Amino acid sequence: MSTDGQPVILVIDDTPDNLKLMAGLLKDDYRVKIANSGEKGLAIATGSPPPDLILLDVMMPGMDGYEVCRRLKANPETEEIPVIFLTAMTSPEDETRGFAAGAVDYIHKPLSPPIVLARIKTHLKLRATLQEALRARREADVLLHVLLPKAAADEIREIGTVIPRRHEKVAVLFCDVVNFTAYCEKHSPEDVVSRLDTLFVKFEQVTRDCGLEKIKTIGDAFMAASGLLEEVADPLDAAIRCGLRLSSSSIDADVGWTVRVGVHLGPMVSGIVGQERYQFDIWGDTVNVAARMAGKGRPGSVALSGEMWALVADRFHGEALGDLELKGKGMVSVYQITGEKV
């Protein structure tokens, strides 16, 4: 569309009288560009501003209209521009050939100005509707990828939902902020939300870098998973390394915030719940254990069970915290990891 808001129409015809006729017919409502050959028409179609619609003659010397249309549809820059054939070739075979080349309409000569104007108006409205639908689809895709893990967003876009699944070996990382409640009581809502937003944006970047998928935030807590919808060679190892990075990168000396991280590996179920404000989530004992482990270690460390520690002790520095009470599990051997072994 031109800068003044008028739709741009390109007329391609080798007959000067036809070009003059169409230019006169369209000039009051549209910005008109003309070309007297297929080659010139193709060059103009890729210019700026691009045409919103093309009126194309079929019988032209050199490159005929069918070939021009095929080339327009083969070019990503012009493939979405609607093409209407204006021609004296009226047989069903001619029309079939035109639609096969990619045209949206076929108007016979001699032309009836009211019919030409009506068809142009219809196809411009249709194109505007399709473009708006595409914009809405792109915005929805962006929103889905903000709200959901990439694989879940892709599945919703393809089939309209996320199929509930059971996963056998997924590592869950649960991270919460120390002293957050006390900070909230002494500071303005704007300050609290701004600082928490900055922290969670940092968490999202670290989890992406480590190959984990953010699941959700719960108050001041952040949950991610490793090996859930995206394949990870060693989910537990990746989650621990991510937890160490979160612990070391998120300390805010100005406000006294530190974080505690808990990790656990095991089976779980994933899926979408809700309708008006649906969200992707994970459930199972593995999730519960990871969340409760987050409260057992010191800030700056990653807490996990003795069972998990036995799987990674050759790769990390850690220390035993003894047998601690874990809600719903009784006494559990707990370790905290403080760093990676060189």
Degrees (nearest 5) of the Cα angle 79, 84, 88?
A: 140
Quote the CA–CA distance of 160 and 183 in Å, as a whole number. Answer: 41
CB neighbours (10 Å) of residue 32? 20
Quick one: pLDDT at residue 315?
94
Return the CATH class of domain 8-145: alpha beta
Give me the half-sphere count of Cα atoms (radius 13 Å) on the Cβ side of residue 316.
27
* 8 A C-beta contact, residue 62 and residue 34: no
- Take residue 70 and report the two structure tokens written for it: 């095929």
Query: Which one-letter DSSP state was computed for residue 252?
Result: B
- What burial class does residue 226 get, using C-beta atoms within 10 Å of its C-beta: 0-12 exposed, 13-18 middle, 19+ buried? buried
pLDDT at 32: 94
| Dihedral of the alpha carbons of 271, 273, 277, 279, in degrees to the nearest 10 | -30
Q: Domain 162-340 is in which class?
A: alpha beta
Q: 10-residue block means of pLDDT along the chain (342 residues)?
A: 78 92 91 94 92 93 92 94 89 89 90 91 91 81 70 77 87 90 86 86 90 90 92 94 84 66 95 72 93 90 95 94 90 93 80
Q: Which two tokens stand for residue 2?
A: 């031109």
CA angle, 31 then 37 then 42, to 5° = 65
Give pLDDT, residue 279.
77
Residue spans of the domains in the chain: they are: 8-145, 162-340
Helix (H, G, I), strand (E, B) or coil at 256: coil
Q: Around Cβ 246, how many Cβ atoms within 10 Å?
A: 24
End-to-end alpha carbon distance in the chain: 61
CB-based contact 42:64 (threshold 8 Å): no
249: which 2 tokens? 């990168």
Tokens encoding 208: 């992406």
